[in-house]
Amino acid sequence: MERPTWLVLLGGMTALIVAMGIGRFAFTPILPMMMEHGLFSTAGAGYLASSNYLGYLIGAIMLTMIRVRNRPLLLLIGLISSIATTWEMSMFNNFEVWFLFRFLSGLASAVVFIIASSMVLERISELQTGIFYGGVGVGILLTGFAVPLFTQDGGWIEAWQGLGFISLILSVAAWYSLRGNNQTKTKIIDSPTQQRYSASAVRRILIWLLIAYGLEGLGYIVTGTYLVAFAKTVSDIPNIASLSWMLVGIAAAPSCVAWSLLAARLGKKWTLTVAMLLQSIGIALPVLFSSIAAIYVGAILFGATFMGITTLFVSYAKELYPQNNRKIIGLLTASFGLGQMIGPLVAGLLISGHGNYLVALLGAALIVLIGGLSLPLGIGSIVVHKLENDKST
């Protein structure tokens, strides 16, 4: 029996909370505690984060190449894997084992993100797309609240176990809401982008989207990995690190809807450029001023942009290829995954080498800025080229 649209939307949000908000981003608020126990260095943290994103990249590539016959079953496997890899992080005290679990967690995140997106996006409107991807922000906010509660009388072990239990409960709800949506509902969409441009121009626009989204993944994930750890170096106020992460979640939860509304007025290209410019400021601000206020403003700017940017990139690509939903999302996710696999690895080495976060975060801010500027420059050149061709004919 087909589920109501509101239930599918809620189930999709819940799936993203489990696989992305917890499975991927819980590592950020727990990271400082694990480092304080001397379990690994900042370089080691970079290796663990990159392992997660390598799994995410491989999962995205696999899902662009294989034919998925049973989406609910694959979603269930992804959710179970996310639960298990979150819980199992507490069961071992071995870097190599953690490396494996973070890799498997990334693989599960890609599966859930792409499959849940393909199941939900075919049922909802463009505005509801922003609500759907807001689930990642809700998950980040949840980890920001939950980690301090779980660690009051314990430490990093209790944090992983508590989040694993929450993931189990939420996964049951997500599975119940989405399990009846196996048949792909092909919508006959008259894409305005396809009307305006030739097939070759559409492909070139997609290439620029892939480049910009890859640079976004490379830059944003440095803050997504090290924000909380950096916050603890600026102030010893209790729970300042967790509060900065909660601000990311608070800003992220409604941001997708807000950016979607703005894109309806400005267009996706210019809205993405504005969002990535603001994000680059949010990444650079804390290290340039090294104050509590700068950390909070940076956290809000980061949270307010990173999921909105994802929403707009996915929506833009869907507009280019409305009949090839899953593969286009998988291709974008692979480009993004490649960038975010490299980011923490390089940043961890830079932080260890320089003894501070300045070079790593300023470099990340510059990369995001370049990615944002590449969109109007690259896609704008395609528009100019088309206009010149139109005049000549």
pLDDT, mean of residues 382-389: 51
Burial zone of 377 (CB within 10 Å; 0-12 exposed, 13-18 middle, 19+ buried): exposed
**pTM for the predicted model, two decimal places:** 0.84
pLDDT above 90: residue 186:
no
Give the CA distances from residue 357 to residues 127, 234, 252, 258, 348, in Å, rounded to whole numbers and listed in that order: 37, 11, 23, 31, 9
Write down the pLDDT at residue 60.
84
Write down the pLDDT at residue 324.
63
Write down the pLDDT at residue 183.
60
User: 120 or 234: which carries more pLDDT confidence?
Assistant: 120
Q: What percent of the chain has pLDDT over 90?
A: 46
Span 54-78, pLDDT tens digits: 998 898 888 878 887 888 899 999 9
pLDDT above 60: residue 162:
yes
Number of residues that make up the chain: 393
Mean per-residue pLDDT over the chain, rounded: 86
Separation between Cα atoms, residue 117 and residue 114, nearest integer Å = 5
Count of C-beta atoms within a 10 Å radius of residue 45: 25
Both tokens assigned to 351:
């932080």
Write down the pLDDT at residue 58.
92
How sure is the predictor about 364, in pLDDT bands with cuts at 50, 70 and 90? very high
Strands (E), the chain: none
pLDDT, mean of residues 358-381: 90
Write down the pLDDT at residue 12.
95
Write down the pLDDT at residue 9.
94
Span 304-363, pLDDT tens digits: 999 999 889 988 888 887 766 667 878 888 898 888 888 888 888 898 888 888 899 999
pLDDT, mean of residues 244-268: 90
Write down the pLDDT at residue 386.
52
Write down the pLDDT at residue 242.
75
pLDDT above 70: residue 391:
no
Write down the pLDDT at residue 393.
45
pLDDT, mean of residues 376-389: 63
The tokens 């509590």 sit on which residue? 292
Count of C-beta atoms within a 10 Å radius of residue 183: 9
CB of 384 closer than 8 Å to CB of 204: no
Write down the pLDDT at residue 42.
83
Q: How far is CA 58 from the centre of its chain?
A: 15
How sure is the predictor about 191, in pLDDT bands with cuts at 50, 70 and 90? low
Span 121-142, pLDDT tens digits: 888 887 788 899 999 999 999 9
CB of 173 closer than 8 Å to CB of 347: no
Give which of 347, 336, 338 is closest to 283, Cα–Cα: 347
pLDDT, mean of residues 268-286: 94
First CA to last CA across the chain, in angstroms? Answer: 53
Domains and CATH numbers, the chain: 5-180+189-392 (1.20.1250.20)
Write down the pLDDT at residue 387.
41
How sure is the predictor about 388, in pLDDT bands with cuts at 50, 70 and 90? very low
How sure is the predictor about 43, in pLDDT bands with cuts at 50, 70 and 90? confident
The tokens 């940076």 sit on which residue? 298
